[in-house]
Amino acid sequence: MNAPARINSALNVRDQFPAIAGWHYLDSAATAQKPQSVIDAITQAYSRDYATVHRGVYERSASMTDAYERSRAAASKLIGGQPDELIFTRGATEAINLVARTLPRNGRNRVLLSSLEHHSNIVPWQLAGYEVDAVPLTSDGQIDLDAAEALLTEEHRVIAFAHVSNVLGSILNAKRAADIAHSKGALLLLDGCQAAPRMAVDVRSIGADFYAFSAHKLYGPTGIGCLWGRAELLQSLPPWQGGGAMIEKVTFEETTFLDPPARFEAGTPHIVGAVGLHAAVNWIENLSLDAIRAHECALVAEARAALSSIDGVTLYGPEDSAGIVSFNVDGVHAHDTATILDDAGVAVRAGHHCAQPLMRWLGVEATARASFAAHSDSSDIEALVRGIEQVKRIFSR
């Protein structure tokens, strides 16, 4: 086998991430490390600029309100939407729960999911009382859209799929998924948590109806995420939570509500989280998602080539996975693999990755998962390989 090409931090951003100095961080699919520009934006927002939003008439409050709304505009533009179509939530989990709980069902009570979904795109539909149907996967771990087309009926209100699998890195043909959904009058919700940091997204050209993603996987802070929805659909959704900032008029007899997105943002929001999200979007756009995608694709190819050359290592998912490589060492539990890798200075995720149905489809209890980011390079892969060789030495004794 020819040696894989070495990726020497083609994006040249590693030194912008203070938390990974001397560390091989390969868990970006769980949460991304933060570049210094995001950290600085959050620090400044708390230390010099902080004030409430949408309430005060004083200058600093007006300035912070402007910053908050500029973040909304930037986050919506990132995925091809408009500011009035984007709701700030606590994360993608809350975004999916919001849709599951508020979407008028129009007599339809079924949702079509896939066998690779994250629990946050399964449990909310169950709790909301939907009947769940699951689409099988192809042999290489892609959502089988031919099967989805055959399974979809007039009883399905929503198709809800991961745009990119958090375990296998499988990339959905989202445009075809939208066409399938709309052919039976269903809506398409995409879980974009793994796609938004890794590839250019245009919700309009896809034909999506809802798109959810989180800031913390996008090099931004935790505690804030986004739900994009087509404007006419958001208008049809009732409020989910009540409180300040989302009302038009309150009396003891009746309350009327503001238009979206304010209708869905009850209470004081994560103000500084929005500032940090805007900084993260700016950082990504300065690099370009196309450059990030190309960089991560090269790293995936290098990692898969290196790991497949090691006897006793099983790889999962498609060859062209997006920034994610899941694997197991034969005879070794993924948790043990990850523990030994940690001793070698390599951070990977191990477990079921909040995707237990997928683990059952793979026939394993857990996998180890290496996931890349803009700051990743060949040194991370070389350290991963050395660590796996150590795993094999320890368990061969």
Tens digit of pLDDT for each residue in 295-318?
999 999 999 999 999 999 999 999
Spatial CA neighbour of 9 closest among 287, 393, 196, 311:
287
Q: What angle do CA 336, 164, 377 make, to 5 degrees?
A: 60
**Which pLDDT band holds residue 396 (cuts at 50, 70, 90)?**
confident
Rounded to the nearest 10 degrees, what angle do helices 271-287 and 59-78 cross at?
40
Catalytic machinery residues: 354
The answer, yes or no, to whether the previous bond of 104 is cis (omega within 30 of 0) is: no
Q: What is the pLDDT of residue 6?
A: 59
For every residue of 192-221, DSSP letters joined together read -TTTTTTS---HHHHT-SEEEEESGGGTS-
What is the mean predicted confidence (pLDDT) over 354-365? 98
**Which pLDDT band holds residue 231 (cuts at 50, 70, 90)?**
very high
Cβ atoms of 360 and 171 closer than 8 Å: no
More confident residue, 378 or 396: 378
Residue-wise pLDDT tens digits, 71-80? 999 999 999 9
Q: What is the pLDDT of residue 56?
A: 87
pTM of the predicted protein model? 0.96
Whether the predicted pLDDT of 3 surpasses 80? no
Residue-wise pLDDT tens digits, 252-301? 999 999 999 999 999 999 999 999 999 999 999 999 999 999 999 999 99
Q: What is the pLDDT of residue 1?
A: 40
Which two tokens mark 324? 């994610």
Phi, psi of 133 (to 5 degrees): -115, 140
